[in-house]
Structure 1
Amino acid sequence: MSERRKGRIIAAGFGVSGQGCWNRSVQPAKGEASDEDEETEYFDAMEDAPAFITVTADPKHHRRSGSNLSGASEGHPEDWNLEDNVFESANQTGDKESMCKDVLPKKRRRTRIPDKPNYSLNLWSIMKNCIGKELSKIPMPVNFNEPLSMLQRLTEDLEYHELLDKAVKCESSTEQMCFVAAFSVSSYSTTVHRTAKPFNPLLGETYELDRLDELGFRSLCEQVSHHPPAAAHHVYSKQGWTLWQEITIASKFRGKYLSIMPLGAIHLEFHSSGNHYVWRKVTSTVHNIIVGKLWIDQSGDIEIVNHKSKDKCQLKFTPYSYFSRDIPRKVTGVVTDADGKAHYVMSGTWDENMECSKIVQSSHGSTSSEGKQKTVYQTLAPKVLWKKYPLPENAENMYFFSDLALTLNEPEERVAPTDSRLRPDQRLMENGKWDEANVEKQRLEEKQRAVRRRREAEAVEALEEGKDYEGYIPLWFERKVDPLTGELICVYKGGYWEAKEKQDWDLCPDIF
């Protein structure tokens, strides 16, 4: 382990799993120590997480046989190296020029936004009245925001979509699971330095990202509930996969820290194989809200299940501890088949990279201090599946946006009138006019409250007359029972892209 990695502290932002956090003028550098005081609450290790040790196997002790890499976990180094280049091509994920060779050249998009103004605001004057409250119900000035909505942040999950394009080419479901696992981790890296909260979308607000010709996919989000805030998301890729989710954000300020709990399942289905993966996001914790340097951690377990093959991947996001010798932001996991047999070990960090190592042999090791027996996996040399892109030049003055994030709020023609790009307070903030943005934000929120009061009055009137009242109905999504989880979720019902083609937006509400 390099000295740089040993000395690094958690200074990461949370991914789209968080509704937002708080912008501070001083951010912890990677080589600095944490300012947490001795009363800081640290998370215990997850009790159900698998305990294991990996040892790199010596290739000389493994002779090649007729077995295939996609078969049992008794793999062989020759098979690993002669695999059909799906894993090998994954090493190119850090090279943007190698992406999407079978789609059209990228359209020229903007590479910068106006620099962030140097505004100051007393954080404690606002936060002291928020302890124990649901933060989505508390009006916040744009000074704490970044010029993107939560719908746009949700779309940032797709920054490393090429991992799923590569997963399509995997013949083995366990190999495919490795790419899906790497993709699930990559979504947290997009905001590693992003300590500002996104705009809470207005009810009925939408956001589209149509990159079908350039990158092979198109994405649509809609805010389907305001309290609690919930967004529905649907992505179609002509490379051979579809992803959908409905994420509800719960956030509470605890005094010392802020907890962001994302609720809802993420679904991913591959068209040709029918492999259907489901997983949920981990909890984000924002530390040092009032005193010290702000830093954010991800902690918990992600279980990814392929409901067709019954393969599983258990990923553990290790919480930061001042006393731990582990590298910060560490993520580890094991990919198993339907019989529980381990095939791959996943390892890396949620802010930089993920690797997978093929297991060639497993055995029981010594018992840990907690009385648990650890499994020892002998593995072949790891393959890098995902590596974070470097940030653009001057990113520190542009909210630490990635190349993709810089383009998300770029004005675009023909989008729905409810699209986040058209939100006036967000546009004013991006242009550095924060005072005007705060005035506009108050106007939009009051307009939304007036609509809600009218809807509540209609509900009371319907109740008095003995009639049914459906309440708010999303425009492009509909509520259905998820056959896999049994939950009631919003799924895309179609019609948006057809309406865009005809430029028929008559059904869209007037929210701006």
Structure 2
Amino acid sequence: MRESDQHSEDTMESVHARGDPRGSHGLSQRKAEGGTAGSVEWTSDNVLDSTSLVPQGPPKVKRRVRIPDKPNYSLNLWSIMKNCIGRELSKIPMPVNFNEPLSMLQRLTEDLEYHHLLDKAVHCTSSVEQMCLVAAFSVSSYSTTVHRIAKPFNPMLGETFELDRLDDMGLRSLCEQVSHHPPSAAHYVFSKHGWSLWQEITISSKFRGKYLSIMPLGAIHLEFQASGNHYVWRKSTSTVHNIIVGKLWIDQTGDVEIVNHKTKDRCQLKFLPYSYFSKEVARKVTGVVSDSQGKAHYVLSGSWDEQMECAKIVQSSPSSPSLDGKQKTVYQTLPAKLMWKKYPLP
């Protein structure tokens, strides 16, 4: 027995020996005198010891407002990386301070930061309007990655992370690590506002010397209970640049297709790669929402780290062929409306 356990046992014995008023006798005496003790729920925290009674009030959750600063250690990165070119990321031994103080399960849960877009989408009567909000939600999940170039910790097999915010946000999320090699997680979210989301995700990655490519595998499913609309999409490719020399920065590239399996509506999103010589805005995202007949209804535009807008199409016409021979469509639209804007960083 530890010294602290012996001390607590001796203290409890002396309390019972003295008939301390904090015991059962003092409790019954307060009930008789005040007459208000019956309004408090009393529960036993030890089934075998009926004298240990404590008041059970409403649970108070105190959330932290910041995390400790990252320690600054000097490391020879090249000595670690030179033998890892072409290998899969999960098999590369990395120093612990290369990681951010979060697990991959928590990073997946961060996708729900702008869940209010889905709460709003529940009330859409038009499926193409609802698709616009779903597309904005899918883009919003990348907004935190622009400043987050550190690798999250790989969870242990069977590790879970639960976020229960039913009281204030109306949702509950549960994420579990279901495979260790390759790393794979299963995620389920329930919202009392009328939608549910689930995904299975496996990370495939390759180190190419100057940059690191991260390809998320697996599909994301979103279903609205009232309408039965079921949306499915996959994540884009993330690329971390300047691995060896220079300041690390991250980019999202590739095409993402969102499909409503009930109405067959589709949204084609394009994440444009950053180029020093391009005149385009950095981190730009464009998209077109079309119905089951292929008719375009909305044009989406914005950036994955700032905001997304949608504009209703009033007329479309083919343009003259470009220099590479590709035919493009020109859309005439109404003024754009803001759907999503990133919260300021804390």
Q: TM-score range by the shorter chain?
A: 0.7 to 0.9
Contact 1:168 1:240 (8 Å CA) reproduced: yes
RMSD over aligned CA atoms reads: 1.2
Deviations 1:217-240 (A, max 9, x none): 000000000111000000000011
Q: 1:304 aligns with which of 240, 254, 258?
A: 258
* 1:345 paired to 2:338: no
Point out the more displaced range, 284-293 or 146-155: 284-293
Q: Report whether the alignment pairs 1:368 with 2:322.
A: yes
1:264 correspondence with 2:218: yes
Pairing 1:385–2:339 present: yes
Letter in 1 for 2:217: L
1:130 paired residue among 70, 84, 105: 84
Residues of 1 paired with 2:336 and 2:298: CA distance? 10
- Aligned residue pairs, count: 287
Deviations 1:279-338 (A, max 9, x none): 001111111111122111110000000000000000000011122110010000000000
Q: Identify which of 149, 157, 165 aligns with 1:211.
A: 165
- Aligned-pair distance for 1:204? 0.7
> Take 1:156 and 1:368, find their aligned partners in 2: how far apart are those partners?
41
Deviations 1:202-223 (A, max 9, x none): 1111100001111000000000
Tell me whether 1:336 sits opposite 2:286 in the alignment: no
- How many angstroms apart in 1 are the aligned matches of 2:79 and 2:125? 57
* Aligned equivalents of 1:173, 1:344: Cα separation in 2: 12
User: Is contact 2:164-2:173 (8 Å) kept?
Assistant: yes
Unpaired runs of 5+ residues, structure 1, are 1-105, 393-512
TM-score for the superposition, normalised by structure 2: 0.81
Amino acid at match of 1:127: M
Q: Does 1:225 align with 2:169?
A: no
Letter in 2 for 1:175: E
**Corresponding residue for residue 52 of structure 2:** none
Question: Greater RCO between the two (CA within 8 Å, min separation 6)?
Answer: 1
Larger radius of gyration: 2
Structure 2 unmatched ranges of 5 or more: 1-59
Q: Aligned partners of 2:80 and 2:165: how far apart in 1?
A: 40
Q: Is the 8 A contact 1:336 1:342 kept in 2?
A: yes
Deviation at 1:120, TM superposition (A): 2.1
Q: Which amino acid aligns with 2:206?
A: K
The equivalent of 2:102 in structure 1 is 148
Aligned residue in 2 for 1:192: 146
CA deviation after TM superposition for structure 1 residue 109, in Å: 2.5
| Contact 2:222 2:231 survives alignment (8 Å) | yes
In the TM superposition, structure 1's runs of 4+ consecutive aligned residues that sit over 4 Å from their partners are none
Identity %, equivalent residues: 83
Task: Select the structure that is richer in strand.
Answer: 2
Distance 1:322 1:367 in 2: 26
* SS, match of residue 367 in structure 1: coil
Contact kept in structure 1, 2:146 and 2:249, CA below 8 Å:
no
The answer as to whether partners of 2:146 and 2:251 remain within 8 angstroms in 1 is no
Map of 2:51 onto structure 1 = none
1: CA distance, partners of 2:268 / 2:307: 17
Matches within 5 A, 1:358-507: 358-392=312-346
Q: CA deviation at 1:107?
A: 6.1
In 2: Cα distance, 1:304 partner to 1:257 partner = 28
The equivalent of 2:135 in structure 1 is 181
Q: Look up the equivalent residue of 2:331 and give its one-letter code.
A: Y
CA contact (8 A) 2:166 2:192 kept: yes
Question: 1:107·1:214 contact (CA, 8 Å) conserved in 2?
Answer: no
Structure 2 letter corresponding to 1:290: I
How far is the alpha carbon of 1:191 from its aligned partner?
A: 2.1
